[in-house]
Structure 1
Amino acid sequence: MSNLVQKYNIPGPRYTSYPTVPYWDLDSFSGQQWKSTLIGSFNVSNEDEGISLYIHLPFCESLCTFCGCHKRITKRHEVEDPYISNVLKEWKLYCDLFDTKPRIKELHLGGGTPTFFSPENLTRLINSIFKSATHAKNYEFSFEGHPNNTTKEHLQALYNVGFRRVSYGVQDYNKKVQLAIHRLQPFANVKNVTEWAREIGYTSVGHDIIFGLPFQSKDDVTQTILKTKELMPDRLAFYSYAHVPWLKGNGQRGYKDSDLPTAEIKREQYEMGKALLGEVGYSEIGMDHFSLKTDSLYKAMENGTLHRNFMGYTASKTRVMIGLGVSSISDSWGSFTQNVKNLEEYSHLVENNIIPIYRGHILTKEDKIIRKHILNLMCRFKTSWENQHEVFRELGAVKDKLSEMALDGLVEIASDSIYVTEKGRPFVRNVCMAFDLFLHRKAPDTRLFSMTI
């Protein structure tokens, strides 16, 4: 395995979209096209499955140095009210485009730190969203909670407005690692918020664990998983730290590159952690995710409805995902857009009744075919082109690119399909890269992505 790690450990996308953001065609994009594709998809999706809504809440009281999210560090909680007001103004701008009320199937609060906001303001936010929307059948609402500041009041307030899933960022329980990533967080805090959620009635509690952090050893990963076993969260994100300081400014420069585990040690951390999670009772779901068999994510994998988008893996698919707030990304199934990243610019635009997007991409027919194959690989570890509309001009070249991975036992290539083997699952990003025509046609001049391993 170590030789394969050395061979395939290259920079590559995580494929929460295709095309990936650096390859969006900005020159041919327009806000009017975005609105047109959005309205068309909304009319289908809203009637059939509902839509998804992502709300970015960017504030944090302190900087976690492993974080690659768009955030604003402040201890001034008076920023809460005006930000929520602007998010609701943005939501109204979208609702004004539609002839019917949106039926929300999935709603996720991300950050930043959503629990930076008071329970009262979070309640106000959700209740105000539903003044212009209704609930879809079998809806699922989730949020990201910080174990150090999530209170019972937060959990109860969000439960009261429909939330049944929460995920907590754990990362690692070793104090030296926590100091390096500026995330001091005792096990007792995680235990409290996990148990509170279950007492209140949450049906899915998740933990995020990261390997490859500064000063982190294999033993640290083992101990973190064993501590996690005491709480048995319903699902786990167990993923590699993405070291991209050239993209994220000074946030990831609180330690030296030499403080990070080598690629080989990272892979050993993953393999050991994956095996241990299996022994504990977790099943692997797609890439970097694990769940108990009772969780909706496992059931989605089993019945073939697992989906991946800018919110990560989800248990169901909607054609429309609207992102609200600074830096949020939206998907109309025919196009992508991203909001401006600067808080003041965002506020200025929505206050002037302008949807605050600053870039996007309109998907071509070829884009949609490739997206389908990559989604299949990321969600089901296989894809096929049995039907003619699943074939694309450069398919032969893609198969050629995968031939060496086939020799290494990572994929099996048939006349009309590709299957990622158990051995190949840790390299699924590399498999998807073979399908990424944008990456083939124009290799990046500068480093854009984290390492695949």
Structure 2
Amino acid sequence: MFRRQIMNTKTLAEKYTVPAPRYTSYPTVPYWENDAFSAAAWKESVVNSFIAMDSTEGISVYIHLPFCESLCTYCGCNTRITRNHGVEEPYMQTLWKEWEMYLALLPSRPQIRELHLGGGTPTFFSPGNLAKLVKGILDRADIHPAAEFSFEAHPGNTTHAHLDQLHALGFKRLSFGIQDFDPLVQLTINRVQSYEEVELATNDARAAGYTSINYDLIYGLPMQTMAGLTETIAAVLKLRPDRIAFYSYAHVPWVKPGQRSYTEKDLPEGEFKHQLYEAGRELLKAGGYLEIGMDHFTLPTDSLFEAEAKGTLHRNFMGYTEQYSRLMIGLGVSAISDSWTGFAQNVKKVEEYTALVNSGELPVFKGHLLNAEDLIVRQHILNIMCKGETSWTSYSEFSVLAEGMERMRVLEADGLVVLDGNSVRVTTAGKRFLRNICMALDLRLWRKAPATQLFSISG
């Protein structure tokens, strides 16, 4: 009998629960070669990427709106906590100026295929200002015939006006941050919202014409229990969102000091955390949701499921999407841009961001230009994350991947992958461990293993 038939899920979880990236990029941010990066090189990368696109492709635009009225202590995003809504107008003006700088680089008017508002809390902004902001972006671009516009929303402050005004501008998708309905968990992470609030916001969104609603859920949160998570998922199944992102909590207090409001003793870790994941996964599947890529579940009617079935699923800094674009421009503090051959991240403080943009400089402060080896590894990691398999035909590709393929032997012995000459296929058991499988190919991680922990423990 093969070892893969012997090793059970619990044993695999114990073995493969290690700090690991989520692979929304390759190389991952800690391994970017910032010394070789410059704003001038980044601009050239953007122009070359735009020229290389075919006429049907279009670009993606991500806008980071960092403001929140209160701090959710579990959150790992770049935020600015304030109740002063006077910050909205100046920040919008700065975003438009940054957009103008990118437009000045491009040889022709861009066509936007994907637009996403993230945060922070985008619905911190008034409905009128959000509509004004988006119009200021769209007025200088064309809209792709297959465009998808989406935004992240807080159930507690998303109004009819937010929904109506953004829908009128082409937004059809939104994502509500739910995390957990357990009152003790909500109190601990300072994210209090009732089932009734979420139900009302969901029903309002559907009535306004939104065709895809996502809920973010997190397992591994402080004070989380099996009973609480089970009740949360039962409540979610009643509301029937089109998509569910079921994430592992990332405990990185050395990066996010707000997480020090509780301790590691409050966290469900090790085997219990894995039990939470397995229970949640099975409940979602029993409720009619299909597992997509890593951490995502959809109804069979959702376009993300259709994209995976057709082999067109894509992954970028915004997560999984059915919209492929070679060029993604990130606007706002901490936003990350991707030209396929390069990455760039904006500065993380609002004041510095504003000063740089007002002085006529792109506000990027670090990045990475991919070499030939990076591009090969990036494509194969993307294939595994989106298609569950990858293959190669040339010796040049094999020579780059050979080191990682040796590491794959252990994964094959544990039944997570099937290796067949010039291909890797993820097994059903392996879908739970996509991060570990991709790590085997991550040349930069293995060549420069950090002395300190950079990533959270995977779920």
TM-score range, shorter chain: over 0.9
For 1:377, the equivalent position in structure 2 comes to 384
User: How far is the alpha carbon of 1:388 from its aligned partner?
Assistant: 4.2
For 1:404, the equivalent position in structure 2 comes to 410
1:365 maps onto 2:372 in alignment: yes
For 2:271, the equivalent position in structure 1 comes to 264
Q: How does 1:40-55 map to 2 (within 5 A)?
A: 40-45=48-53, 47-55=55-63
CA distance in 1, matches of 2:24, 2:86: 33
For 2:332, the equivalent position in structure 1 comes to 325
Output the amino acid matched with 2:126: S
CA distance in 1, matches of 2:246, 2:399: 34
CA distance in 1, matches of 2:351, 2:425: 47
- Show CA shifts across 1:277-305 (max 9, x none): 11111111100001111111111101111
Q: How does 1:209-248 map to 2 (within 5 A)?
A: 209-248=217-256
Check the 8 A contact 1:366/1:392 in 2, yes or no.
no
For 1:315, the equivalent position in structure 2 comes to 322
- Show CA shifts across 1:153-191 (max 9, x none): 101110011100000000000000001100011001110
SS in 2 for 1:27: helix
1:415 to 412, 415, 421: 421
1:81 to 83, 89, 99: 89
Output the amino acid matched with 1:418: V
CA distance in 1, matches of 2:15, 2:397: 30
User: How far is the alpha carbon of 1:335 from its aligned partner?
Assistant: 0.4
1:300 to 301, 307, 310: 307
Output the amino acid matched with 2:36: S
Check the 8 A contact 1:59/1:112 in 2, yes or no.
yes
User: How far is the alpha carbon of 1:228 from its aligned partner?
Assistant: 0.5
1:437 to 395, 419, 443: 443
Output the amino acid matched with 1:168: F
1:201 maps onto 2:209 in alignment: yes
For 2:293, the equivalent position in structure 1 comes to 286
For 1:101, the equivalent position in structure 2 comes to 109
User: How far is the alpha carbon of 1:452 from its aligned partner?
Assistant: 1.9
- Show CA shifts across 1:199-249 (max 9, x none): 01001011001000001011211111110011100000011101111112x
User: How far is the alpha carbon of 1:46 from its aligned partner?
Assistant: 6.4
1:451 to 434, 453, 457: 457
CA distance in 2, matches of 1:420, 1:198: 36
For 1:337, the equivalent position in structure 2 comes to 344
User: How far is the alpha carbon of 1:389 from its aligned partner?
Assistant: 5.3
Check the 8 A contact 1:168/1:208 in 2, yes or no.
yes
For 2:6, the equivalent position in structure 1 comes to none
Output the amino acid matched with 1:438: R
For 1:391, the equivalent position in structure 2 comes to 398
Output the amino acid matched with 2:146: N
2:280 to 273, 280, 302: 273
Stretches of structure 2 that go unaligned for 5 or more consecutive residues are 1-8
SS in 2 for 1:122: helix
TM-score with structure 2 length normalisation? 0.97
TM-score with structure 1 length normalisation? 0.98
CA distance in 1, matches of 2:353, 2:291: 38
For 1:428, the equivalent position in structure 2 comes to 434
SS in 2 for 1:271: helix
User: How far is the alpha carbon of 1:124 from its aligned partner?
Assistant: 0.5
User: How far is the alpha carbon of 1:37 from its aligned partner?
Assistant: 1.2
CA distance in 2, matches of 1:293, 1:284: 10
CA distance in 1, matches of 2:174, 2:146: 17
CA distance in 2, matches of 1:47, 1:408: 45
- Show CA shifts across 1:261-318 (max 9, x none): 0221111111111111111111111000011111111111011110000000011210
CA distance in 1, matches of 2:391, 2:228: 40
2:34 to 26, 39, 42: 26
Greater Cα shift, 296-305 or 395-404: 395-404
User: How far is the alpha carbon of 1:396 from its aligned partner?
Assistant: 2.7
CA distance in 2, matches of 1:297, 1:388: 34
SS in 1 for 2:177: strand
For 1:62, the equivalent position in structure 2 comes to 70
1:154 maps onto 2:140 in alignment: no
SS in 2 for 1:338: strand
CA distance in 2, matches of 1:379, 1:347: 36
Percent of aligned pairs sharing the same letter:
53
